[in-house]
Amino acid sequence: MKFIFFAVQTLMVMATVTGLARGSTTVEVAGVAFPRTIQVQDIDLELRGKALLRYMAIIKAYAGALYLPVDTHHRQVLDPVPRRLELSYFQAISASDFAKATRHKLADNLSPAELSNLSDRVGRFNALYRDVQPGDRYALTYIPGKGTELSLNGETLGRIEGDDFGAAVFSIWLGPRPIDRSFKAALLGKP
């Protein structure tokens, strides 16, 4: 009888803890909290996936979270659908290193003609970058017809027009040759 009482009590505690976890408004990645839902210009976006990117397998670079409309299929992630990627940094990174990495990863994911067509906008985007310190958070937000906005710690740094630019810059993490395949899979909510 004691065993049954203990088993029922244990199941009740487990159900309560599980319910609290599901009811939480945030999720954590390596100690970094991300909200489960956000609203961008009156558009509700839900957390699709979260991930930790490591450099050289041991150094934590940043934690990320991808937000999409609830009905968006992972294959549509670079289509003209609203989306936001938030990246919270564990390491200091210079603005020039961000610009260099952006140019490199865009070249990995775009044809030379596409890259040439975006060259001016990529230059303007790269000029928006600021040096980051541990704990800083970039947010990259794309709204169809309005463009792609970069913000740092909640402060808007600028917006670059074009659906093509939005798809290109998000391809750094979500394109055919992303910065890291397992990071991409986790952001898309794939097992």
Rounded distance, CA 112 to CA 153, Å?
33
Rounded distance, CA 40 to CA 100, Å?
28
Q: What pLDDT does residue 191 have?
A: 62
Name the residue among 53, 63, 54, 58 with its Cα closest to residue 136: 63
Question: What end-to-end distance do the CA atoms of the chain give, in Å?
Answer: 41
Please, which residues bridge with residue 7 across strands?
A: none
CB hemisphere CA count around 100 (13 angstroms): 6
Q: What pLDDT does residue 5 have?
A: 32
pLDDT in single tens digits along all 191 residues of the chain: 433 333 333 333 233 233 334 557 989 889 999 999 999 888 999 999 999 999 887 889 999 999 999 988 888 999 999 999 999 999 999 999 999 999 999 999 999 999 999 999 999 999 999 999 999 999 999 999 999 999 999 999 999 999 999 999 999 999 999 999 999 999 999 86
Domain borders along the chain are 26-187
Q: What pLDDT does residue 161 have?
A: 97
Q: What pLDDT does residue 149 have?
A: 97
Q: What pLDDT does residue 188 have?
A: 95
Contact between 121 and 161 under an 8 Å Cβ cutoff? The reply is yes
Please, which residues bridge with residue 67 across strands?
A: 47, 84
* DSSP characters over 103-140: HHHHHHHS-HHHHHHHHHHHHHHHTT---B-TT-EEEE
Q: What pLDDT does residue 55 have?
A: 83
Prediction pTM value: 0.85
Residue 53 amino acid letter: L
Q: What pLDDT does residue 21 have?
A: 44
In CATH terms, 26-187 corresponds, of 3.40.50.2300, 3.40.50.300, 3.40.50.980, 3.50.70.10, to 3.50.70.10
Q: What pLDDT does residue 12 have?
A: 32
Q: What pLDDT does residue 74 have?
A: 87
Q: What pLDDT does residue 9 have?
A: 36
Q: What pLDDT does residue 144 have?
A: 95
Contact between 89 and 62 under an 8 Å Cβ cutoff? The reply is yes
